[in-house]
Each structure stands twice: as C-alpha cells, then as structure tokens.
Chain A
Amino acid sequence: MGLDFVGQGVGETDGNIITTTIDKVVNWGRKNSLWPMPFGTACCAIEMMATLASKFDLSRFGSEAIRFSPRQSDLLIVSGRISIKMMPVLKRIYDQMPDPKWVISMGACASCGGVFDTYTLIQGVDQFIPVDVYIPGCPPRPEDLIDAVLQVQQKITSGASPKGVETVV
C-alpha cells in the first residue's frame, strides 16, 4: 500500500494511526497525481499521445489527467520543435502553471534543437525555461516518456525542488 511508503522510516503505532511528516504526505500525493500539460508541437507529440493511450497507459502512474489548461497542471511536457515565435507562448504557459511545477523536455528538438540548426528554431528550451528531465531520442519511445515521469516522481519523493523553484512550500 502506498501509505506504508508514507510512513517509511517513521514509527507506526497501534490501530490506524500513522505518523509521518506533512512534507512526505504532500509529496506522496503530488507524485501520484502529476497532471501533465502537453505542449506537443511536432512528431514527438505523437509518441506522447501513444504514451497516454491504452497500450502504454500513463494512467498506471497517475498521470492520465491531461489538462489543456496550464492553471490545472503541474507537469509540462515539451514535445516537439519550438520556434522563436512559439517560445513566448511556451514561456507564458510555463509561467501560468501553479508552483510547484516540473518540466520534461521530450526529444532531441526540445532539448537541443535536434537536426534543425536553423534560424528559427530554439536550440534547447532550457535556455528560457527550467527543465527537470530531458529525454533523448528522435522520437523517444513511450517507455522513455514513462521513465521520465518516473524520474520526476523520484525527484518529488526525494523532496528535491523542481528546477525552476527555490523551495517547495
């Protein structure tokens, strides 16, 4: 049971009482209900859709509630090429997400521009928004995206702050 995990390293008393720290409970909740904000601008988004569909089923990890409103999301998945015209939009969406928020940069294009070393393509979104987990690949397989979500979960469990936030309250 998940709650065993909450009480990890903390004494468990008789009956139904578990003692733990508030941080651990909150992080446990955050970790198991990451709501992704998809920012799919290119081919990588197809793999992201596959990740959500039944075969790979991201909902097994609590992240199936895709929100198309940044105000309801805490995990931004940047999947695809970002042009200089799109970057302000992406930045604004990132800014609109409530803290704490995490960012996955999916694929070569989002992470470093990929093969598109051209006048209009951002060479890595991490120049403008903080990225927590990078996924290599062109495109990465759905398993890679699931792995990235698990890495974000690990990060949350460990109590580490997201890249863009000084401290998690």
Chain B
Amino acid sequence: MTAKELKDKSIELRRKTLEIIYNAKAGHTGGSLSIMDILNVLYNRIMNVSPENFNDANRDRYIQSKGHSVEALYTVLADRGFFPEEDLMTLCQYQSPYIGHPTKGVNGMEQNTGGLGHGLPICCGNALAAKKDNSGVKVYTVLGDGEMAEGSNWEAMMFAAHYKLDNLCAILDYNKLQITGSNAEVMGLEPVAKKLEAFGWAVKEVDGHDYDALIETFESLPFEEGKPSFVIAHTVKGKGVSFMENNIKWHHGVPSAEQMEMAREELLIKEEV
C-alpha cells in the first residue's frame, strides 16, 4: 500500500480501536493510538506476514513487547484478515480469546506478552535462529519508553550487538509518557539515542506518525550491516483524538458515550481533510 492509502486506512483503524475499547469498557487507549501508524506500516507494507503465510516458518515475526497496547494490534490483525472484525466485540470479555494482553490463542499472534521487558530477549532468540538458518526472516518489536527502564532490555541489547543481529529491528514508541507521569518525572531515559548507539545499535529517529518517513525508514533496514537496528519513533500518546493526546489519564482511560461520539467526529473530519 502507498503512504496515502495507509494514512487513509489509519483513520478507520483508530476509530475501530476506540470502538472495541469503548465496547469492552477496558483497554490501553493512549498507547494503542500511539503505535497505530507503526503497526499499520509494518503489517500493510513492510513485513512478509499474512493470514496465508502465517504457518510458513519463513514469515517475518512481530512480537509486541509493550503488550498492553494489544487493542491496536488486534485491530490491525483483524483488518489484515487474520480473524473477523466482529470477534473484537468480545475483547476482554469472559471466555473471549481476545484477552487484555497478547495471547497465542488469537490467529496472527506470535507470542504471549504483557509483563514488560520480555519482548526484546525473545526477538533476539528469533533473530539468532533465523541467522543460523539463513532464512531471511526479519524480526520486529515495539517497546514502550517507560518499558525501557527494565534491565532485561539492556541485557538483550548487549546480546543483539554481540551476535550482530542485523535482521532485528526494535522500535521505540517514544510518546514520552508512562502510567504515573512523563518519563522525565518517573525515570529519565535521555539521551536515549546515544545510549542505544553506545550499546552497539544502528539508530534512526523518525516521526512515528509520518507515513512517508516511516516507510523510508523501514525500507532502509538494516541501517548498518552487522548491527541491530533501533527506530526511535517520536509519537504522541493518544494520537488522533485531541482530548486524549499527551494526557496520562488516557493510559487506560475508557471513553464515555459522549467522548466516544466526539472522538468519532474528530476522526471523521480528519478523513475529509
């Protein structure tokens, strides 16, 4: 898909994510909206993975380390045809396979996640196996900026550089907020680009909502031969709905009927522009 087509699609994806959260009365709203454009580009442009090849050992792998933003991933997987969209109306409900964090009971899901700091080590293992087999498999993960405080990420970063895993791409959803406050208030992360470079990764910074830039960035992987790639995606938590943007209240805020209507209208206006 072209950048323009993806951008158009993103409006519908955002609306659907909000609808399922609204319906479930649960979900991680802000972080789902901040990674939507990244997932849209990965699944609809970059990665070699589809419902048709999901059992092919040589498919590309996506593991969502910030598992709480599962609603965005469910929405993109449904849109991609991994399961019917109506299924998502059971999100978080009793006996639904669409649990509040990624679970392999759902078609298209590679890995159970939810506790933070687990995705990158698994991706290192995936990337290592793919290298050994020369299979050409590429491995992707999205991490939260608050999540970066987990030591396991830094252990995995040392490993990935040591083993020259240039088939591995980690993406930082750099929305600058976590649950209790901003990264700066809770646990400072800057200067993050320098830290990642010092850990032996090739790093690029990008506007995580700019489709041309995201495509160009992902199409230039690996950024450097023999090094794992880190994309620092500058994002906005709650992106797309003005009253949710940059507000920690929306980390797991659920819209009221009135707010849902406002959000629908805002997204509709964006579609017309």
> Do A and B interact with each other, yes or no?
no
